[in-house]
Amino acid sequence: MGNRKSVFLPEQLEEYQDATFFTRKDILRAHRRYQQLSPGIVPDVMTGQEAQTVTVSFSLLENLPELKENPFRKRLCQVFSRERTGDLTFDEFLDMMSALSEDASHDIRVAYAFRMFDYDNDGFIGPGDLQAATNELTNGGLADDEVKLIALKILEEGDIDDDGKLSQYEFQNVIERSPDFMTNFHIRF
């Protein structure tokens, strides 16, 4: 009794609480979920640099029930992965779960939604980004001309300055006219 090792140091838990929308209990639950994905790789105790260095592959992450049915699961993981591979360290996993939690602010979720749709990472959502998102959403089930038409219609609707792409401000205006988008852009775990 009493000899059980803590997963994290108290200072680590405090830092995670300060940097996320999670309680200590939520953080420990996130670690359990992360470790269950790859128990042979993710250690029970992460009091050193393990949270920044141990990585779980996207092929395992995509099996999480919260991601499994999401057509943007790969893109979400890529956005939170420093390497942009979709493989995540615990710190990146915790960031993703926190930013997409129901407790995250509207502005944080909008910023990550924007990054998710900015496939070419140029700071704007252009026709190519919209086409990639449409293909993800429809699982490639539309013809190229239909995908291009959808992208064109979104740009016609949202491109306020007529520069052929959406800035983050323009993107926010578009999704705010679609209340279902932000209502559904979260992860419950």
Q: How does DSSP assign 143-155, residue by residue?
A: -HHHHHHHHHHHH
At 68, which CATH number? Answer: 1.10.238.10
Tens place of pLDDT per residue across the chain (189 aa): 444 568 999 999 999 999 999 999 999 999 999 999 999 999 999 998 999 999 999 999 999 998 998 999 999 999 999 999 999 999 999 999 999 998 999 899 999 999 999 999 999 999 999 999 999 999 999 999 999 999 999 999 999 999 999 999 999 999 888 878 877 888 877
Same domain, residue pair 121 and 95: no
Domain count, the chain: 2
Same domain, residue pair 92 and 166: no
- Is residue 152, in this structure, part of any structural domain at all? yes
Residue 96 DSSP SS3 = helix
Same domain, residue pair 24 and 43: yes
Looking at 99, 133, 149, the residue that finishes a domain is 99
The stretches of the chain forming alpha helices (DSSP H) are: 10-19, 24-37, 50-53, 58-61, 65-68, 73-80, 90-99, 106-117, 127-138, 144-158, 168-176, 179-184
Q: What confidence score (pLDDT) does residue 181 get?
A: 81
Q: What confidence score (pLDDT) does residue 4 get?
A: 58
- Is residue 126, in this structure, part of any structural domain at all? yes
Distance CA 84, CA 87 (A): 8
Distance CA 16, CA 24 (A): 8
- Is residue 1, in this structure, part of any structural domain at all? no
Looking at 79, 99, 119, the residue that finishes a domain is 99
Same domain, residue pair 94 and 14: yes
Phi, psi (deg, nearest 5) at residue 162 = 50, 40
Same domain, residue pair 53 and 25: yes
* C-alpha distances out from residue 158 to 19, 137, 145, Å: 33, 19, 20
Which residues have C-beta within 8 Å of that of residue 142, sequence separation ≥ 6?
Answer: 134, 135, 150
In terms of residue numbers, what domain contains 165? 106-184
Tokens of 53: 């260095």
